[in-house]
Amino acid sequence: MATTAVTGAKNLGSSGVLYSDRRDFYIRPNVVKELWTDVTPFLTVVANQQTVSGMADPTFKMFEHRNPWQKQQFQSAANPAAVASGAESTSIATDNAEGIQPGANYKGLMCDVFSDSSGPSGGSKGQVLITEYASSGDSIKYKNLTNEDINVADDDWFVVIGNAQGEGTNSPAAWSDDLSVVYNSTQIFKTPVEVTGTLLQASLRGESKELARLRDQKSAEHKIQKERSFIFGSNPKGTSGGFANIEDITDENDKTVRTTMGILTALARYGSASGDAQNVFASGDIDTYSEFVDAMEKVFQYVPTSGSKRAFVGAGALGYWSKQGGNAGSFAGDSGWTVNLGDMKRDALGFNYRTLETPHGMLQLIPTPALRGPYNKHMLIVSDENLFHAQYRAPQFQASIQANDYDGVKDQYMSDEGIGISLMESHALMVTP
């Protein structure tokens, strides 16, 4: 009679049923490591800074105001003759008033005169006192307050430095400005999660309950999509294009689709790429230490009460500042300046950051997963005071929304949210080399 040899399990081996079915390779079978932990730092900051809920309408207006006294100036529109010390000029027309309304309120203003068609700069030509105003051409006469001739030319700037009124005179003419309005809207986010009844019942390695794992995954997906929308979102009318047609977008069923205008998109659309009010900096704008100092001066010209600003950065931007530690070939090394970049710390809100010390203020650099790929070298610098989380409806986890005869479970994360952005010049966008 033939016999069958039985092979015993002398070792673990690397083949056969012992290897493929009986061995348990999982050290912690119900633990799954995730690649990203700090998923949405921008959303976290905005939501914790200020959330406006209970809104009357998902499309909203915001008032904003810019103090006119920050820059009060106007230009000469003529070439008058030179005026001797203490003498009065002939009548000259003016134009391009900024921060002040042309009118009889010009009388009594003391002005510093500068020559530059693109804006006042260089040495002062001297100071004058405006003595008369006429509405035709917004014309003025002025007296020379210096001890030598003053020669005002076409396009020269009159920069207001104060006012001086005569003894026993009446109150001068008053003027005022008004508030301005910006717009935005919330948008409806929906992130579904679904499993069949069979999968729901199964006991699996990796996560014992697949529905619980997918709920966690879709929760993070819901948050990252909100984060990206608050940063990169757009709508055709923008934040200042008018209120009546802000809801023009519709879907295939002719249902209105609202979208929120993200802050990075708004900066790219409305920000200034040059001049004193510059708040959008291309990679070629900060190649030297001198350019870096000038850029930071503009970023911090509207000084926050804390003396610091948050900068949400891509990994490339964070790496750029790390490389500026006095290395040869870096603008810090070439200038003899050392970048003071602090160690990684953990914010109370749950994200990591490093602090960059600049000559004009402190930047809290926050690595932001949403700033990847083409935005890897971007820095989004925000003013907390001029940013808020708009919440039309409270976020909901809608459980078991499947049809009654469906063999499975379908849930959904739903929220109707957006971002409110005001005083665009207080925020900044910078792209590192």
Kindly state whether residue 331 falls inside one of the protein's structural domains.
Answer: yes
Residues 400 and 268 in one domain: yes
Question: Which of 111, 135, 163 is the endpoint of a domain?
Answer: 163
Residues 154 and 186 in one domain: no
Cα 158-83-129 angle, rounded to 5 deg: 45
Residues 127 and 268 in one domain: no
Residues 195 and 132 in one domain: no
Residues 313 and 388 in one domain: yes
Residues 121 and 236 in one domain: no
Residues 272 and 155 in one domain: no
Residues 195 and 104 in one domain: no
pLDDT at 134: 94
Kindly state whether residue 95 falls inside one of the protein's structural domains.
Answer: yes
- Report the 10 Å Cβ neighbour count for 241: 14
Read off the DSSP letter of residue 137: G
pLDDT at 135: 93
Residues 117 and 262 in one domain: no
Residues 234 and 326 in one domain: yes
pLDDT at 31: 43
Report the distance separating Cα 42 and Cα 92, nearest Å: 52
Question: Which of 163, 194, 216 is the endpoint of a domain?
Answer: 163
pLDDT at 242: 46
Kindly state whether residue 346 falls inside one of the protein's structural domains.
Answer: yes
Question: What is the mean pLDDT, run by run of 10 residues, along the chain of 433 residues?
Answer: 51 55 48 52 83 84 75 91 93 92 93 78 86 94 93 92 91 81 87 84 61 85 91 79 58 87 90 88 84 88 76 91 64 55 67 83 90 93 88 89 86 91 89 88
> Which neighbouring-strand residues pair with 180?
64
Kindly state whether residue 27 falls inside one of the protein's structural domains.
Answer: no
Phi and psi (nearest 5°) for 401?
-95, 10
Report the distance separating Cα 392 and Cα 415, nearest Å: 8
> The whole model's pTM is what?
0.74
Kindly state whether residue 8 falls inside one of the protein's structural domains.
Answer: no
Residues 59 and 86 in one domain: no
Residues 355 and 370 in one domain: yes
| Full domain range(s) for residue 356 | 41-64+182-431
By the 8 A CB rule, do 199 and 165 touch? no
Domains: count for the chain: 2
Kindly state whether residue 36 falls inside one of the protein's structural domains.
Answer: no
By the 8 A CB rule, do 155 and 125 touch? no
Report the distance separating Cα 338 and Cα 417, nearest Å: 42
Report the distance separating Cα 380 and Cα 365, nearest Å: 9
pLDDT at 47: 82
Tell which residue, 425, 302, 421, 426, has the closest CA to residue 63.
Answer: 421
